[in-house]
Amino acid sequence: MQFYRSHVLVCGGTPCILKGCKAVRDALIDELKRRGLDEEIRVVETGCLGPCDLGPVIVVYPEGTLYERVQVGDVPRIVEEHLLKGRVIPSLTGEGRLAGVVGYEEPTYLASQERIVLRNCGIIDPSSIEEYIARDGYRALGKCLTEMEPLDVIEVVRQSGLVGRGGAAFPTGLKWGFTANAESEQKFIICNADEGEPGTFKDRLILEGDPHNILEAMAIAGYAVGASCGYVYIRGEYVLSIERINEAIEQAKVFGLLGEDIFGSGFSFDVQVVKGAGAYVCGEETALIESMEGGRGEPRIKPPYPGTHGFLGKPTVVNNVETLANIPPIMLNGAQWYRGFGTSKCPGTKVFTMIGDINSKGLIEVPMGITLRRVIYEIGGGIPGGRDFKMAQTGGTSGGCLPREMLDVPMDYFTLPEVGSALGSGALLIMDDSHCIVDIAESFMRFFVRESCGKCVPCREGTARLHDIIRKISQGNGTYEDLRLIRDLSHAMQGTSLCGLGQSAPVPIMTMLKYFKDEFEAHIKNRLCPTGTCRL
């Protein structure tokens, strides 16, 4: 094994690719070669580091210096000054929250987080199984296969308190237990990577940055429930994720970490990738299965649940990417260790994607129960332009919208529903006071109108009607009767829709009516848009 005196990590997540990190990486490699440094300094393309808006981002180790917004033109200077002469270039270390992250420690931006799921993202080369293994990769699988009975594995997951991170927060151990108890020759593990919630891109970046983590977790799940076959159902647009996971599958097979008789335990497990075709509803587990079987992307009637009647009618575990990403560390460190993070009712961490009017957009992982205020003002660097915070939508487009008074509500799967919202997939959309609530509501509903599969009446007809009514209000033609109708319709949709799409589509509107009623009334009574957004 070759040793290097420095490693330059180039963030290769999709957001950084869009900002030109590939050219920066190539320029770095060329420059190092030109100066004859390529034997002592290694350039590593990693997965996402998190501060997506500051890309392309590179980190020089062992110092841990983070350079942001690096351009090809900056490369000769970085090599000359930092890598050759050992002098940090302050002008490239950014301003504000990332400024001056120099020294033999992690950047403070990362230090304020708790990285379990993202432990390898931005650290290792995701194309290298060796780097994953070097960070304890596949040790958890080895431990499960050689030291533990399947039921013990499920018991540890159950005790860890892990709940599904796709949004429904169903206890993962319980879910595995249903499938483990189901009698069947064939069972399946499906990793749900059909991430479609607007503003959510965590699963994509986890898969891009640490694909082996997911494969290891799926194999553990397979061992626990008695499945020998796994599928990763990925959004077709996630080209890089698909490439990385396929690459990882091949590597794991070569290493004997997937395939027949893993670790000589007699347990065999294979993983295949299935590409989704772009329907939001296919993130719903039964619609996902329907789509995998070649059917129209539509949810099925539940019960029966996939745990007993899933893919091809066989018992099937469907777990979100982030849920699975927690499994190897839990198995390695134990349930009690995991319960040390987050809250007692909702242990662990949550990966959030921060978007909207916030200084730092990107990916973070923080303990469950953190408040909005800390995320926005400590980690996210606050609202740009000194504007006032107006609302945050938690959980993606199907989540609730919370006003300033809710900034100190702990964000976890149990507390947010109490105030009418949801943690959902972890998308955090921050909006400043320049936005009109009615206008935003209209745009949210437009999404659901497009994405309703059209199967059940309340969602098929209801989403379109909610959109119509809100548009009517935004055009200054609304009445108080319309507000009542919104409430009536929302209740029927929440209570009777066939799947989570229709049940949660009214959630943002309901919370807006609860917390920003004045603004709706201004549009109706005064035919006035307080922010001047709507053209009345």
| Contacts with another protein, residue ranges (CB under 8 A) | 279, 296, 301, 303, 449-458, 460-465, 468, 481, 485, 488-489, 491-492, 494-498, 503
- Least separation in angstroms between CB 247 and another protein: 34
Q: DSSP states of 353-405 as a string? A: EEEES-SS-EEEEEETT-BHHIIIIIIS---GGGPPEEEEEESSTTS-EEEGG
Secondary structure (3-state) at 443: helix
Nearer to another protein, 116 or 449 (CB): 449
Distance separating alpha carbons of residues 527 and 91, to the nearest angstrom: 50
Compare residues 87 and 450 and give the one whose CB is closer to another protein: 450
Nearest CB to another protein, comparing residues 273 and 485: 485
User: Can you name the residues that pair with 391 across neighbouring β-strands?
Assistant: 403, 431
**447, amino acid identity:** F
Judged by CB, which is closer to another protein: 315, or 462?
Answer: 462
SS3 for 193-258 is ECCCCCCCCHHHHHHHHCHHHHHHHHHHHHHHHCCCEEEEEEECCCHHHHHHHHHHHHHHHHCCCC
Q: Is 415 helix (H, G, I), strand (E, B) or coil?
A: helix
SS (H, E, C) 41-76: EEEEEECCCCCHHHCCCEEEECCCEEECCCCHHHHH
Distance between CA atoms of 124 and 116, rounded to whole angstroms?
A: 14
DSSP three-state, residue 432: strand
Assess contact for 518 and 526: CB atoms under 8 A.
no
Sorted by sequence, the CB contacts under 8 Å of residue 404 that are 6+ apart come out as 388, 389, 390, 391
Specify the residue, 404 or 472, whose C-beta has the smaller distance to another protein: 472
* Least distance between another protein and beta carbon 395 (Å): 17
Residue whose CB is less far from another protein, 481 or 518 = 481
Closer CB to another protein, 68 or 298, in the complex: 298
C-alpha angle 270-272-276 in degrees, rounded to nearest 5: 155
- Quickly count: other Cβ atoms within 10 Å of residue 344's Cβ: 9
CB 377, min distance to another protein, A: 35
Q: Which CB, 314 or 455, lies closer to another protein?
A: 455
Is the CB of 44 or the CB of 489 nearer to another protein? 489
Q: Please, are residues 83 and 51 in contact by the beta-carbon 8 Å criterion? A: no
For the CB of residue 310, give the shortest distance to another protein in the complex, in Å: 17
- Rounded to the nearest 10 degrees, the angle between the axes of helix 150-160 and helix 321-333 is 110
**Positive or negative, the Cα torsion across 333, 339, 342, 346?**
positive
437 or 499: whose CB is closer to another protein?
499
Give the closest residue to 437 by CA, choosing from 518, 363, 371: 518
Q: Which is nearer to another protein, 322 or 442 (CB)?
A: 442
Cβ 278 to another protein shortest distance, Å: 11
Identity of the residue, 351 or 498, whose beta carbon is nearer to another protein in the bound complex: 498
The least CB distance from residue 382 to another protein, in Å, is 37
For the CB of residue 217, give the shortest distance to another protein in the complex, in Å.
29
Q: Helices marked H in 419-476 — which ranges? A: 437-451, 457-474
CB atoms within 10 A of CB 73: 9
Encoded tokens for 24: 């920066």
CB of 484 to another protein, least distance (A): 9
Give the nearest distance from C-beta 293 to another protein in angstroms.
14
Instruction: Name the CA dihedral angle for 188, 238, 213, 144, rounded to a multiple of 10 degrees.
Output: 0
Q: How far apart are CA 22 and CA 71, in angstroms?
A: 10
Nearest to 230 by CA among 253, 210, 208, 209: 253
Smallest gap from Cβ 294 to another protein, in A, equals 13
We find the least distance from the C-beta atom of residue 502 to another protein, in angstroms, to be 9
